[in-house]
Structure 1
């Protein structure tokens, strides 16, 4: 007589315990876990989808995500559906949970302006690398006034509407960004096994030239710091130039992050303006951006003076004071809008009679001046909070090349024959460029 099995396997019991409509989860012969269930499809129909994972939990999580999107009325994509349908699904159900709000807004603009008009009508399953390459080449050579009808919206048309193309084309950096958004979307389609491979990865775009920046020289940096003397945000501008902190990191500093006695600052957040939440404190740009840095002695003095000034502003504001706990605030204690900080910065450049640069160029200026003083690249990488030292090396490659020329010239002077040295003395009193002090 056969004894009934009173201890079914975990997979069997868990499968039986799932409610109607939750789908099934089981382990395949190849060791992978498969989850299957019915979700909403294009055309207000329902279809059975299958997802896979290396563990039961992973497969179940993928299925649960699809069912949740279906319950919100978002149809699941299909390889037989259009690229536009998949991009819309990806933005609304996947990217929105994995990207920062501002990044998601930029991705949405790229999809709306370029990807859907260019590739949206094609079927996802039939999209090829040749389609992507041909479209990118066309995008590179197409006037955007003509393609997007920008000229017709002007009060006085000056391009296509009057028969004179202005040839307003996208920059190589923008083309590369559009390509990267498409690669990210198709990579998710591969993970969900809608398509076998990411065809956008087979399209070679080449490396676009990085955006040029003009950091302040040592003389200009001293002039800028002199112009900030007496400004209520002098401590912020000095901190930006001496440490290379990002604008959002400076505005996100709270007094609890500063250890003025120990001379350190902990970078834990960034303050940004978002469409939904206004001024919002967000995590740092990357995990490496969350760091602790040493504060220069001049910054310690200016921060102590800034704290005293803020106490006076708190007393003057009285009940109208907003206790935001931020180091740098408006006169009423509210956080500072990044756009307002940029306006203060531009006014200070005019006061110092300096050329107009971006606020972010203060960060580049700090790194460039440190490199010119012979500071190790790894130290600069940790100070700036770059995720990889390769980022630091790439961004400041032109500075390192100039320093190599200076080093080679110094070596040439050392190897010069004594007779040549006496015949052609160097009457200059200037120090070598790479050894010039920065005050």
Structure 2
């Protein structure tokens, strides 16, 4: 019995007592051929195997499994169970393997594979711990105590919207590449649902996806990165798994949108499209007020990243000159500050004597809530030079802020920020973007995002002959490669001048050519 045994059993009952006969049923065997043989039509095969005792020495109930159609099937699973118990001779490990076997049998009605348990034993994983993906994600978030609020919010969003709904019920040690690929397929399908609902004429259908946006390729990769990180923690810290399926899931590559300049031809096409879209929007919303800025911003553009020409940037700054945030927009347009860095700028970091500005703080959004903190990377924490006119404009802005302080009186909040509302409170980042969109619309310029002013600043600096390394440090990038690949757009006139200069190097006057030939 120690090595296990096989036998046949059935569900017949004793006519007198009503008890099951089990393996004592006379129909299980039949006489003939000189000896007793098993019936081929009655009963099912089973096996019984003694299990290691409990830690305190108490005998454990033997493992009994029945319902096998053939003797070979019963013997195969008995050998499987023996192989699991023989993976390690250490009594403690054998008990853990035994408990894992019983747990998996209870959940799946099948034994775990020998290779799976062997890996767990070899990597010293916790054999008696069964954790679902949802349970591990909750534990993962608890442990991430030293991350900034925006990163935490990103992790929480990925867990809530994707990991728990699509993968949550799967045991962590049984999470497969196909499960994760299925999750991403479902996300793509929901993108189609969002697009269809937004295009619907039914207000109720549009309301269902009011707060949901299609998930783009870059976000897909961030979701995978979060899952990969969480599973790596499960491998390295808790040894719950020994393989990270998220690391090998194939995703379409992310291509950064190519920055394009608003040339005259592109502006002409955009104005035609804008007129058509505005007319269609007015017709669709007949009898209701139309948000002209949203219509203006929703017009199709040649690229998601569009850059103004130097003339268009000058026109914007000339129009925005009377706006109270003019100095902020000028800093972004010429020095390439991020929105959060511009909003988070403080007066102690502005040196009119040295002509420099310290970018040491930022205000970002956590959903809608503004969050103050340090810049996103060490390279982002920097000091940049400012031109004389910008410094003069900042002085004028400080004078205007002083007047607002006097007007507000006791309601003024001395926050120390360069850009505030009329009561001294730091600005909400979205307010700055909204004001920028209004100014672009009123100035009748082709639409760009506020962040595109930063793209334009890089292009302006390169067009002015500034070295790439200086542009990188001004923008606060870790590498110049990222600066070159992401933020630089060549203005048409600069490209034309470069072509003419190159051609001039090999242009030979005809007179000189004739003299050489003669």
Q: Which has the larger radius of gyration?
A: 2
* Shift in CA distance, 328/254, structure 1 to aligned 2, threshold 3 Å: same
**Do 1:77 and 1:86's aligned partners in 2 also have CA atoms closer than 8 Å?**
no
Q: Distance in 1 between matches of 2:414 and 2:207?
A: 52
Q: Is the 8 A contact 1:144 1:150 kept in 2?
A: no
After TM superposition, the structure 1 = structure 2 runs for residues 356-371 of structure 1, keeping only pairs within 5 Å, are: 356-371=447-462
1:134: Cα distance to partner? 4.3
CA offset digits 1:107-130 (Å, max 9, x no partner): 222222222222222221122334
Correspondence list, 1:402-413, <5 A: 407=498, 410-413=501-504
**2: distance between equivalents of 1:207 and 1:420?**
55
The answer on whether the counterparts of 1:289 and 1:384 sit within 8 Å (CA) in structure 2 is: yes
How far is 1:273 from its partner?
A: 4.0
Superposed CA RMSD? 3.5
- Aligned pair partner of 1:208 in 254, 275, 278: 254
1:262 aligns with 2:307: no
- 2:334 paired with 1:247: no
Structure 2 residue corresponding to 1:136, chosen from 171, 184, 195: 184
Q: CA deviation at 1:144?
A: 5.3
Measured against aligned partners, the alpha-carbon deviations of 1:308-344 in whole angstroms (never above 9, x if no partner) come to: 1111111121111111111111111111111221222
**Contact 1:238–1:299 at 8 Å: present in 2 too?**
yes
1: CA distance between counterparts of 2:329 and 2:306? 17
* Shift in alpha-carbon separation, 1:144–1:102, aligned structure 2, 3 A: farther
8 A contact 1:242–1:296 mirrored in 2:
no
Match of 1:81 among 102, 121, 131: 131
Deviating more after overlay: 412-421 vs 246-255: 412-421
1:351/1:308 Cα in 2 relative to 1: closer, same or farther (>3 Å)? same
Q: Report 1:325-344 matches (<5 A).
A: 325-344=416-435
Give the match for residue 94 of structure 1. 143
Structure 1-normalised TM-score? 0.68
Distance 1:264 1:291, change over 3 A: same
| Partner-residue secondary structure (3-state), 1:360 | helix
Q: Deviations over 1:229-275 (max 9, x none)?
A: 12222111111111011111111111111101110011111013446
Cross-structure match for 1:20: none
**What are the ranges of 5 or more consecutive residues in structure 1 without an aligned counterpart?**
1-75, 161-167, 423-439
Q: In 2, distance between residues paired with 1:409 and 1:200? A: 51
Q: Which moved more, 1:385-394 or 1:355-364?
A: 385-394
Residue in 1 that maps onto 2:172 = 124
Question: Which residue, out of 207, 211, 223, partners 1:178?
Answer: 223
Name the SS for the 1:261 alignment partner: coil
Distance across 2 between alignment mates of 1:400 and 1:268: 31
Alignment correspondent of 1:287:
378
> Displacement of 1:405 after TM fit?
8.4
TM-score by length of 2: 0.58
Corresponding position of 2:243? 197
SS in 2 for 1:98: coil
For the 8 Å contact 2:357–2:385, the answer to whether it is kept is yes
Q: Secondary structure at the match of 2:371?
A: strand
Structure 2: runs of 5+ lacking an equivalent:
1-125, 258-303, 514-518
Structure 1 residues 182 and 403: CA distance shift in structure 2, 3 A: farther
Match among 376, 387, 391 for residue 467 of structure 2: 376
- Count of matched residue positions in the alignment of Structure 1 and Structure 2: 336
Q: What's the counterpart of residue 62 of structure 1?
A: none
Q: Secondary structure at the residue paired with 1:265? A: strand
Instruction: Give me the whole-angstrom Cα distance separating, in 2, the residues matched to 1:184 and 1:170.
Output: 20
